[in-house]
């Protein structure tokens, strides 16, 4: 619905603009914020009849637009008011900033911020909190932090806004540090606070801090909130403790929501426990919870990671009968399911018969399957599709190059590398986290910035020597560089996940499981090496990559090399 607010002659009753300002403003505010259909439109019609609106008149309409489905309209109206004779007051700025938060209007929020300073409103605690919330929600975390640091008084909303913004903005370390600081400054966390902190723990794999938060949640009775318990399940699962996640799931008894079931099913799927995930999917129906599109996606992922191809196909075909329309993610999951099993022609046929346009991720999934099974012809077709769609991902080029390299088509490998240079394709840097004694350590490929890097490198040399006696040969086809064999082997040796595991070997107490979180998919060489490390050093090693968990024990992986 479009609401015009330009002043013009209309057939609306004209006596409203002669009404005393306070009464008129109250009428506008009542109509603009009413949930009744047409009320906002009526308020806009009245507003257009006012020759010279008061500040309160402007505020009423801006507030109504900001909290309804027209946040951009509120921002535009604020801009119009700024050009008119009436100066915005603190309330106007507050409503406009809330509209910016809903419309994700970062540049407009910055302009309003400068006006707050000019108008002398910048010391208003409520306005500062609202401004902080806008910056956090629009991803401008540096300005959010600046506003936070300049606040003379901080309330629970301001702390929560920045913690949540940092956690959602891929700055989990800072979010967790801020959460700890809030406790030192005497803040009593509420449900919103712990949700932001749990999200940060999930990203970092910070199990020690996560368990402290869960204990606080139970002590302070915040576990009555279903959303909080769902976040705890997610935290435990993403930190590698799926059994503890399941205990929280059971702790909720009859308070489980659809999101609770979906979170637990996806957790089991990511840990490769497909049968258990599918059992839970069945139990959800028996408990009277109707599965939605997310439930089916989680169940399909369970089939993917466990090689349950036929079961996955049956699930997919049953969706429509259960009133759930498959979306592009469901189709992508089925393509992945077939691709992992080597049924590439069937996967390709599904892509071409989809009722919607395949996205880049789906084609990339199929390209990964082509690489796994060495299907050069299909890989070339898929790569052309990706180029047509404007994809400039380094991973696409690496996969195609690996397909050519496997068939020793070195001229084609060179052509792919040249294309990467011409298109200025940049490789996404790999990094890994590991937690030792409650401290999170981050490593990047070839990292020498860690205080213990010399000790880590010496341990990797020892590892290299010991695994060679088990017949290990570096899989240098994973290195896409015009360098010699020795340099390729060195490049593989210092991948971030290997550095994290080596640090665990030298720092974590004997017998303690080593837990690593990787931002990219674990490479084949690292997978082989970590399997051998788990056997030689008698260590359980859990690696969470961007797709799933790998639990290495006694020379084997929970994925059964099906990943």
pLDDT tens for 133-179 read 999 999 899 999 999 998 888 889 899 999 999 999 889 999 999 99
> Residue 1: which pLDDT band, with cuts at 50, 70 and 90?
very low
Q: Rounded to whole angstroms, how far apart are CA atoms 8 and 48?
A: 6
> Which of 530, 543, 450, 446 has its CA nearest to residue 493?
446
Domain enclosing residue 361, as ranges: 343-427
Q: Which residues contact 60 (CB under 8 A, 6 or more apart)?
A: 25, 28, 29, 32, 33, 43, 47
Q: Decide if pLDDT at 124 tops 70.
A: yes
Is there a single domain that holds both residue 466 and residue 534? yes
Instruction: Say which residue, 481 or 463, is predicted with more confidence.
Output: 463
Is there a single domain that holds both residue 450 and residue 552? yes
Q: Decide if pLDDT at 491 tops 70.
A: no
> Residue 273: which pLDDT band, with cuts at 50, 70 and 90?
very high
Is residue 410, in this structure, part of any structural domain at all?
yes
Helix 207-219, helix 226-238: angle, nearest 10: 160
Q: Is 205 helix (H, G, I), strand (E, B) or coil?
A: coil
What are the phi and psi torsion angles at 431 (to 5°)? -145, 160
Is there a single domain that holds both residue 402 and residue 516? no
Q: Decide if pLDDT at 483 tops 50.
A: no
Q: Rounded to whole angstroms, how far apart are CA atoms 506 and 443?
A: 15
> Residue 4: which pLDDT band, with cuts at 50, 70 and 90?
low
Instruction: Say which residue, 248 or 8, is predicted with more confidence.
Output: 248
Instruction: Say which residue, 45 or 294, is predicted with more confidence.
Output: 294
Instruction: Point out which residues pair with 551 in neighbouring strands.
Output: 542
Instruction: Say which residue, 529 or 45, is predicted with more confidence.
Output: 529
Over range 313-336, report the average pLDDT: 93
Q: Per the structure block, which two tokens stand in for 445? A: 């490929």
Q: Rounded to whole angstroms, how far apart are CA atoms 546 and 563?
A: 12
Is residue 395, in this structure, part of any structural domain at all?
yes
Q: Please give the DSSP secondary-structure letter assigned to residue 150.
A: H
Is residue 174, in this structure, part of any structural domain at all?
no
Is residue 107, in this structure, part of any structural domain at all?
no
Is there a single domain that holds both residue 435 and residue 412? no
Question: Within 13 Å and on the Cβ side, how many CA atoms surround 363?
Answer: 25
Q: Is 446 helix (H, G, I), strand (E, B) or coil?
A: coil
> Residue 524: which pLDDT band, with cuts at 50, 70 and 90?
confident
Is there a single domain that holds both residue 502 and residue 521? yes
Q: Give pLDDT, residue 489.
A: 54
Q: Rounded to whole angstroms, how far apart are CA atoms 129 and 385?
A: 47
Q: Per the structure block, which two tokens stand in for 372? A: 């796994």
Domain boundary among 408, 427, 446: 427
> What is the torsional sign of CA 77, 78, 79, 84?
positive
Yes or no: say if 489 and 508 are a contact pair by the CB < 8 Å rule.
no
Highest mean pLDDT among 10-24, 115-129, 173-187, 393-407: 173-187
Q: Give pLDDT, residue 11.
A: 38
From 88-97, 233-242, 400-409, the region with the lowest mean pLDDT? 400-409
Q: Give pLDDT, residue 479.
A: 53
Q: Per the structure block, which two tokens stand in for 19? A: 């009404």
Instruction: Say which residue, 378 or 417, is predicted with more confidence.
Output: 378
Q: Per the structure block, which two tokens stand in for 247? A: 């205990």
Q: Dmax of the chain from CA atoms?
A: 94
* Each residue's pLDDT tens digit, 54-97: 888 888 888 888 888 878 988 888 888 888 777 888 999 999 99
Q: Is 271 helix (H, G, I), strand (E, B) or coil?
A: coil
Is there a single domain that holds both residue 458 and residue 372? no
Q: Rounded to whole angstroms, how far apart are CA atoms 230 and 358?
A: 32
CA distances in angstroms from 257 to 225, 226, 241, listed in the order given: 11, 7, 21
> Residue 338: which pLDDT band, with cuts at 50, 70 and 90?
very high
Helix 453-468, helix 496-507: angle, nearest 10: 100
> Residue 243: which pLDDT band, with cuts at 50, 70 and 90?
very high
pLDDT, mean over the chain: 88
Q: Which residues contact 93 (CB under 8 A, 6 or more apart)?
A: 112, 115, 116, 119, 121, 127
> Which of 106, 103, 102, 99 has its CA nearest to residue 81?
99
What b/e readout covers 551-561, taking b as 16+ CB neighbours within 10 angstroms? Answer: bbbeeebbbee
Yes or no: say if 264 and 298 are a contact pair by the CB < 8 Å rule.
no
From 69-83, 323-337, 472-486, the region with the lowest mean pLDDT? 472-486
Is there a single domain that holds both residue 397 and residue 450? no
Instruction: Point out which residues pair with 441 in neighbouring strands.
Output: 434
Is residue 227, in this structure, part of any structural domain at all?
no
Q: Rounded to whole angstroms, how far apart are CA atoms 379 and 359?
A: 16
Is residue 181, in this structure, part of any structural domain at all?
no
Q: Per the structure block, which two tokens stand in for 343? A: 């049924």
Is there a single domain that holds both residue 372 and residue 473? no
Is there a single domain that holds both residue 532 and residue 496? yes
Helix 293-306, helix 328-340: angle, nearest 10: 10
Is residue 108, in this structure, part of any structural domain at all?
no
Give Rg (Cα) of the chain: 28
Instruction: Say which residue, 308 or 53, is predicted with more confidence.
Output: 308
Q: Which helix (H) or strand (E) holds 249?
A: helix 242-251
Q: Per the structure block, which two tokens stand in for 519? A: 């931002």
Over range 188-214, report the average pLDDT: 95
Q: Rounded to whole angstroms, how far apart are CA atoms 198 and 210?
A: 6
Q: Decide if pLDDT at 223 tops 60.
A: yes
Q: Give pLDDT, residue 3.
A: 55
Is there a single domain that holds both residue 360 and residue 420? yes
The count of structural domains within the chain is 2
Is residue 363, in this structure, part of any structural domain at all?
yes
Over range 186-193, report the average pLDDT: 94
Domain boundary among 395, 427, 459: 427
Instruction: Point out which residues pair with 550 in neighbouring strands.
Output: 543
Domain boundary among 427, 462, 489: 427
Q: Give pLDDT, residue 17.
A: 44
Name the region of 396 (left: φ>0; alpha: ψ -120 to 50; beta: rest).
Answer: alpha
Q: Decide if pLDDT at 282 tops 90.
A: yes
Give this prediction's pTM: 0.83
From 90-104, 266-280, 381-395, the region with the lowest mean pLDDT? 381-395
Q: Give pLDDT, residue 65.
A: 87
CA distances in angstroms from 249 to 34, 98, 203, 206, 233, listed in the order given: 40, 36, 20, 20, 7
Q: Which helix (H) or strand (E) holds 514?
A: strand 514-518
Over range 339-349, report the average pLDDT: 94
Q: Give pLDDT, residue 193.
A: 96
Is there a single domain that holds both residue 445 and residue 481? yes
* Each residue's pLDDT tens digit, 346-367: 999 999 999 999 999 999 999 9
Residue with tokens 């837990």: 515
Is there a single domain that holds both residue 412 and residue 447? no
Over range 389-410, report the average pLDDT: 81
């Amino acid at each position: 619905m479009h609401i015009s607010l330009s002043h013009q002659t209309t057939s609306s009753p004209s006596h409203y603009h002669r009404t005393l300002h306070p009464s008129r403003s109250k009428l506008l505010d009542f109509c603009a914020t009413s949930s009744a259909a047409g009320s906002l439109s009526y308020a806009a019609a009245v507003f257009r009849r006012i020759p010279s609106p008061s500040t309160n008149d402007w505020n009423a309409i801006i507030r109504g637009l900001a909290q309804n489905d027209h946040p951009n309209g509120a921002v535009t109206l604020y801009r119009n008011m700024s050009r008119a004779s009436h100066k915005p007051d603190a309330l106007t700025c507050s409503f406009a900033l809330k509209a910016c938060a809903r419309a994700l209007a970062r540049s407009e929020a910055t302009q309003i911020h400068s006006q707050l300073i000019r108008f002398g409103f910048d010391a208003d605690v409520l306005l500062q909190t609202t401004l902080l919330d806008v910056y956090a929600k629009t991803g401008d975390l540096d300005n959010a932090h600046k506003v936070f640091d300049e606040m003379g008084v901080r309330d629970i909303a301001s702390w929560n806004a920045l913690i949540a913004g940092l956690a959602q903005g891929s700055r989990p370390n800072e979010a967790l540090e801020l959460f700890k600081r809030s406790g030192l400054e005497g803040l009593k966390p509420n449900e919103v606070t712990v949700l932001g902190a749990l999200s940060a723990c999930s990203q970092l794999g910070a199990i020690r801090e996560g368990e402290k938060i869960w204990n606080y949640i139970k002590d302070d009775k915040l576990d009555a909130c279903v959303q909080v318990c769902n976040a705890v399940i997610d935290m435990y699962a993403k930190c590698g403790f799926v059994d503890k996640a399941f205990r929280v799931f059971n702790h909720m008894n009859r308070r489980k929501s659809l999101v609770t079931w979906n979170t637990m099913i996806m957790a089991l799927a990511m840990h490769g426990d497909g049968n258990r995930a599918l059992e839970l999917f069945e139990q959800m129906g028996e408990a009277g919870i109707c599965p939605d599109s997310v439930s089916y996606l989680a169940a399909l992922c369970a089939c993917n990671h466990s090689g349950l191809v036929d079961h996955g196909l049956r699930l997919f075909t049953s969706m429509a009968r259960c009133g759930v329309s498959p979306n592009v993610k469901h189709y992508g999951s089925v393509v992945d399911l077939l691709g992992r099993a080597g049924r590439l022609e069937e996967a390709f046929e599904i892509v071409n018969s989809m009722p919607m346009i395949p996205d880049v991720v789906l084609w990339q999934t199929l390209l990964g399957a082509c690489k796994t099974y060495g299907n050069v012809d299909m890989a070339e077709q898929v790569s052309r599709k990706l180029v047509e769609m404007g994809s400039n991902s380094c991973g696409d080029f690496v996969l195609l190059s690996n397909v050519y390299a496997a068939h020793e088509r070195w001229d084609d490998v060179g052509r792919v590398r040249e294309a990467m240079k011409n298109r200025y394709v940049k490789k996404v840097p790999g990094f890994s986290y590991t937690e030792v004694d409650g401290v999170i350590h981050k490593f990047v490929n070839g990292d020498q910035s860690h205080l213990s890097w010399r000790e880590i490198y010496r341990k990797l040399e020892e590892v290299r020597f010991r695994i060679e006696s088990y017949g290990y040969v570096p899989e240098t086809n994973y290195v896409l560089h015009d360098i010699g064999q020795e340099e390729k082997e060195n490049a593989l040796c210092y991948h971030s996940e290997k550095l994290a595991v080596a640090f665990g070997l030298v720092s974590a107490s004997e017998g303690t499981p080593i837990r690593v979180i990787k931002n990219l998919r674990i490479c084949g060489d690292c997978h082989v090496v970590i399997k051998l490390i788990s056997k030689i050093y008698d260590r359980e090693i859990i690696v969470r990559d961007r797709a799933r968990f790998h639990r290495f024990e006694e020379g084997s992986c929970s994925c059964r090399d099906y990943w």
